[in-house]
């Protein structure tokens, strides 16, 4: 018989002997016996000191093990983004775009940055496409290996059905970013999304598109306000993406983050059965500290 089995039987026998003594004396009930052999009960002073010493030794060993694990560099299988791992997030700028959809677009000299698209008569679709609606220019060495967005749209939209039959009010928008950096001026660098040289910039999408559909009865008009935010996942620019996705060398990817970078926000979309829309798109950029 293995030693641990012998030890287990000995402990069990000792416990049962104690139970037998209690039983002979008209001792405790069954639940009290269970508590007598439970680790949930406080132990004597000597045992408490031994337990505390044992706990301290175990804690020290666990701390050493944790420190050793932290000292080891994480792999892509562990955290995926090893370049930004444990680096602080830093605030790198904020900008906003103002876009209106309306039946008329009067020129307003007091709001030169406010963009407007004239709506086609319902139920025709209206398409809009605005480039460089807002931008941020980062100085050299603003981030180590990652640029990430916080995208916050605030929408006030009036859906209207002027017809005699039920209809659907629709609004869809898609934001994209144009990234400009002098590393991309190299004519030998080819943009894999176009097959042509970068020419100093590339266009990247954002996982922040939205589509709204509102059922409308005949003659119905409803105005809705929505407010939300989307946060990037892998980043709209990263050292890893520049190498694996855009074909830059590691040296070129590192140099990219050492040079000024301009980020331009573009917004396109469509509307149908919309009376008017006022859209504000807030863009905040964050990165990993160098």
Instruction: Name the strand (E) or helix (H) holding 25.
Output: none
pLDDT score, position 79: 81
Instruction: Name which residue leads in pLDDT, 25 or 121.
Output: 121
Same domain, residue pair 107 and 230: yes
Same domain, residue pair 60 and 105: no
List the domain range (segments joined by +) for residue 258: 77-288
Query: Over the range 17-44, which residues count as b (16 or more CB within 10 Å of their CB) and which as e?
Result: eebeeeeeeeeeeeeebeeeeeeeeeee
Same domain, residue pair 115 and 254: yes
Same domain, residue pair 60 and 96: no
CA neighbor of 265 nearest in space, from 119, 186, 153 = 153
Measured from the Cβ of residue 162, the count of other Cβ atoms closer than 10 Å reads: 15
Instruction: Name which residue leads in pLDDT, 106 or 67.
Output: 106
The number of folded domains in the chain is: 2
> What is the band of 71 on the pLDDT scale with cuts at 50, 70, 90?
low
Final residue in a domain of this structure, among 43, 75, 107:
75
Mean pLDDT, to the nearest integer, of 168-194? 96
Same domain, residue pair 22 and 126: no
Same domain, residue pair 93 and 118: yes
Is 152 a residue whose pLDDT tops 90?
A: yes
Same domain, residue pair 228 and 278: yes
Same domain, residue pair 143 and 12: no
Least confident of 43-47, 79-83, 204-208: 43-47
pLDDT digit string (tens) for 119-143? 999 999 999 999 999 999 999 999 9
Calpha distance 205→211 (Å, rounded): 16
Mean pLDDT, to the nearest integer, of 73-86? 82
Contacts of 42 (CB under 8 A, 6+ apart): 48
Is 249 a residue whose pLDDT tops 60?
A: yes
pLDDT score, position 108: 66
Final residue in a domain of this structure, among 75, 100, 121:
75
Is 227 a residue whose pLDDT tops 60?
A: yes
Measured from the Cβ of residue 63, the count of other Cβ atoms closer than 10 Å reads: 10
Chain position carrying tokens 């900008």: 95
Same domain, residue pair 24 and 110: no
């Amino acid at each position: 018989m293995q030693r641990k089995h012998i030890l287990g039987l000995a402990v069990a026998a000792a416990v049962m002997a104690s139970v037998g003594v209690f039983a002979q004396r008209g001792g405790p009930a069954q639940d009290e016996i269970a508590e007598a052999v439970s680790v949930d009960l406080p132990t004597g002073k000597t045992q408490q000191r031994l337990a505390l010493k044992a706990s301290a030794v175990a804690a020290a060993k666990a701390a050493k093990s944790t420190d050793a694990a932290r000292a080891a560099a994480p792999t892509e299988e562990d955290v995926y983004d090893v370049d930004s791992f444990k680096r602080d997030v830093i605030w790198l700028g904020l900008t906003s775009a103002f876009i209106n959809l309306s039946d008329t677009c009067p020129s307003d000299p007091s709001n030169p940055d406010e963009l407007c698209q004239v709506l086609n008569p319902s139920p025709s679709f209206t398409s809009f496409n605005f480039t460089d609606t807002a931008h941020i220019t980062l100085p050299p060495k603003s981030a180590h290996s990652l640029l990430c967005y916080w995208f916050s749209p605030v929408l006030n939209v009036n859906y209207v059905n002027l017809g005699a039959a039920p209809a659907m009010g629709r609004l869809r928008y898609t934001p994209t970013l144009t990234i400009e950096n002098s590393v991309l001026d190299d004519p030998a660098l080819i943009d894999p999304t176009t097959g042509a040289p970068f020419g100093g910039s590339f266009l990247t999408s954002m996982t922040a598109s939205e589509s709204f559909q509102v059922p409308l009865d005949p003659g119905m008009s409803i105005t809705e306000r929505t407010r939300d935010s989307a946060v990037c996942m892998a980043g709209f620019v990263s050292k890893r993406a520049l190498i694996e996705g855009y074909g830059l060398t590691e040296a070129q990817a590192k140099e990219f983050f050492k040079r000024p970078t301009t980020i331009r926000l573009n917004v396109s979309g469509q509307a149908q059965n919309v009376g008017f829309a006022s859209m504000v798109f807030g863009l905040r950029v964050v990165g990993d500290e160098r």
